[in-house]
Structure 1
Amino acid sequence: MKSPKTAKLVCIYIHENDRWRGKPLYVALTQLLREKNIGVVTVIRGRMGVGPNGIIKDNHFWPIHGDYPIILECLDQADRINAVLPEINRMLTKGKYIVVDGEMWENSNGRNFDR
């Protein structure tokens, strides 16, 4: 196992219907993170959530379409995440995000972050 690298995890909380320049915000953010070579990006669609307005968003009864919670997580070395944070902040007119400092470990079969 390799020694850990200083890393940051960013969790972005938005909604499915949030847009950026005509496309879904989660798609635009994923494309940005890919262009910036961020190592790990995952988009998670929530089944249920409560936003700052207190409204419960639930797809239990209406599973076809809705404005459901989206969590976008990205993980990479701290310097790479720090470089893209201003662009993430600019794109988020709604929603919130959290940045967590930590150590990134990878097993011998994992993706190489030493690009």
Structure 2
Amino acid sequence: MTRLTGHALRVTVFVGEHDTWHHKPLYSEIVHRAHAAGLAGASVFRGVEGFGASSRIHTSRLLSLSEDLPVAIVVVDTEERVRAFLPQLDELVTEGLVILDDCEVIRYAGRDGVDNPDEPDSKGKSSL
């Protein structure tokens, strides 16, 4: 398990949910590459409304013609590891926004028994 505390770098990638890479969702490709690169973690968040460089508003409201909702992929790790990952993002993200933020990791802990879901967690309860 990766240990991560203290100073870190957060990279956030904003793309559309219908953006693809070789017929797969772009956000999924980014997450899988981050995992393969051994980064501490990545999460994808779907927005309900937004706009970007195209100035076209994308919304989930009914009766809207736009369904290509905004998606944010957030990755946090040490500065060295995040910066080493940036060339992959440069390759993948042809339209969108990539930002870097300094951050401080206060707690980074996985669940006990993740490798064996039948093991009790730290509170003595079995995971579902």
Q: TM-score range by the shorter chain?
A: 0.7 to 0.9
Q: Cα gap change, 1:36/1:50 in structure 2, threshold over 3 Å: closer, same or farther?
A: same
Does the 8 A contact of 2:53 with 2:96 survive in 1?
Answer: no
Counterpart check, 1:38 vs 2:45: no
Shift of residue 23 of structure 1?
0.7
Counterpart check, 1:86 vs 2:82: no
SS at match of 1:8: strand
Q: Which has the higher contact order (CA 8 A, sep 6+)?
A: 1
CA deviations over 1:51-71 (Å, ceiling 9, x no partner)? 2222111111059x8211000
Shift of residue 6 of structure 1?
2.6
Q: Indicate the RMSD between aligned Cα atoms, in angstroms.
A: 2.0
Q: Cα gap change, 1:75/1:66 in structure 2, threshold over 3 Å: closer, same or farther?
A: same
Divergent runs of 4+, >6 A = none
Rounded to whole Å, the distance in 2 between the matches of 1:104 and 1:86 is: 24
Does the 8 A contact of 1:5 with 1:77 survive in 2?
Answer: no
SS at match of 2:43: strand
Match of 1:12 in 2: 13
CA deviations over 1:2-49 (Å, ceiling 9, x no partner)? x94331000100001111112110010010001011112110011011
Counterpart mapping for 1:1-115 below 5 A:
4-61=5-62, 66-106=67-107, 110-111=109-110
**Structure 2, unaligned runs of 5 or more:** 111-128
Structure with larger Rg = 2
What TM-score does the superposition give when structure 2 sets the normalisation length? 0.75
Does the 8 A contact of 1:42 with 1:74 survive in 2?
Answer: yes
Task: Looking at secondary structure, tell me which structure has more strand per residue.
Answer: 1
Identity score, percent: 25
When the two structures are aligned, how many residues end up with a matched partner? Answer: 106
Q: Cα gap change, 1:59/1:8 in structure 2, threshold over 3 Å: closer, same or farther?
A: same
